[in-house]
Amino acid sequence: MKKTIETVTGTIAIEDMGKTLIHEHFVFGYPGYSGDVTIGPFNKKEAVRVGVEAAKAVMQYGVKTVVDPTPNECGRNPEVLKEISEATGLQIICATGYYYEGEGATTYFKFRHSLGSAEKDIYEMFMTEIEKGIANTGIRPGVIKLASSKDEITPYEKMFFDIAARVHKETGIMILTHTQEGTMGPEQAELLTSAGVNPKSIVIGHMCGNTDLDYQKRTLETGVKIGFDRFGIQKLVGAPMDEERIETLLQLIEEGYENQIMLSHDSITHWLGRPLEMSDELASLIQHWHPTHLFENIVPALEEKGVSKEKIDTMFYL
């Protein structure tokens, strides 16, 4: 495993990451938000303001680092992240990578694939951002973000996985993934490790979307880390309730897997596009979907179930 990692303000030692939330979004927009800017223009000042508030809130619980794996086409904004980091002292890690086929900006690279250049173009994108920085910011990503669809890794998605494996072997960069609706965790882990990616450099995300213990163990047995990283999201995108996540987590801890598990929320502090509207019922289901929910509600629940502070702390360290 690489001994250093890039933050939006520079290189740090992995050991200096400290207490970490492995999957949160300070700014996020589903592809298409850029076509709605007349009614939903980007407000950078507001994005920074609420980002600073969120950063200060998690820092009160001892969080030193947040990984923001927003894909390139979903509003990734390293300059906003840098402003938040400089204003608060929170270490923030951003990503290079693309979202899964069903909800990503797939047409761009599909068109380039039809011209025969997509693989070369994606490799060049990853390497340039990792070695020189994103656009003209000089800010370098600390992780590659990969994603797959429900029940399959499509050929389009596999193209990114294959190239990311190659880039990892050349640079040592960490890989963090999105699994859709609790599927394809073992398959993602096997695809990456069989391609030569160091399992200690992989975090398979959103594994708490599946309460099947065998599914969890098949993924963990590859040696990767997994993210129980959607606490607070209930019922949406096929997600289980937090109580179900906790029961699955308790079983894994009982079997000694806490060193391979990381906790987070996948929260979104500032949405791109016009403000979201939702029913009271839906709002009540996600009322705890924010970046301090773990510390306010989930950690106390684990402690009540007899999980030691030491084991809980382990799940916040890479």
**Alpha carbons 166 and 162: distance in angstroms, whole number:** 7
Adjacent-strand bridge partners of 28: 271
For every residue of 194-227, DSSP letters joined together read: HTT--GGGEEETTGGG---HHHHHHHHTTT-EEE
Looking at residue 239, what is its pLDDT? 83
Looking at residue 11, what is its pLDDT? 98
CATH of the domain at 196: 3.20.20.140
Six token digits for residue 9: 């303000």
Q: What is the mean pLDDT of the chain?
A: 97
**Are 20 and 63 a contacting pair, CB within 8 Å?**
yes
Six token digits for residue 155: 């050929």
Q: SS3 of 65, please?
A: strand
**Distance between first and last Cα of the chain:** 11
Looking at residue 236, what is its pLDDT? 79
Question: With pLDDT > 70 as the criterion, what percentage of the chain qualifies?
Answer: 100
pLDDT band at 1 (very low <50, low <70, confident <90, very high): confident
> Which of 103-117, 161-175, 223-237, 280-294 has the largest mean confidence?
161-175
Mean local confidence (pLDDT), 301-306 = 98
pLDDT at 119 over 90: yes
The secondary structure of residue 307, as a DSSP letter, is -
Cα angle at 82 between 79 and 84, to 5 degrees?
115
Residues 6+ apart with CB under 8 A from 105: 31, 73, 98, 99
Mean local confidence (pLDDT), 268-293 = 93
Total domain count, the chain? 1
Looking at residue 169, what is its pLDDT? 98
Residue of 265, 254, 71, 248 whose CA lies nearest to 157: 71
What is the residue range of 101's domain?
A: 4-314
Residues 6+ apart with CB under 8 A from 130: 96, 140, 141, 167, 171, 173
pLDDT band at 19 (very low <50, low <70, confident <90, very high): very high
Six token digits for residue 87: 């204003």
Mean local confidence (pLDDT), 257-286 = 94
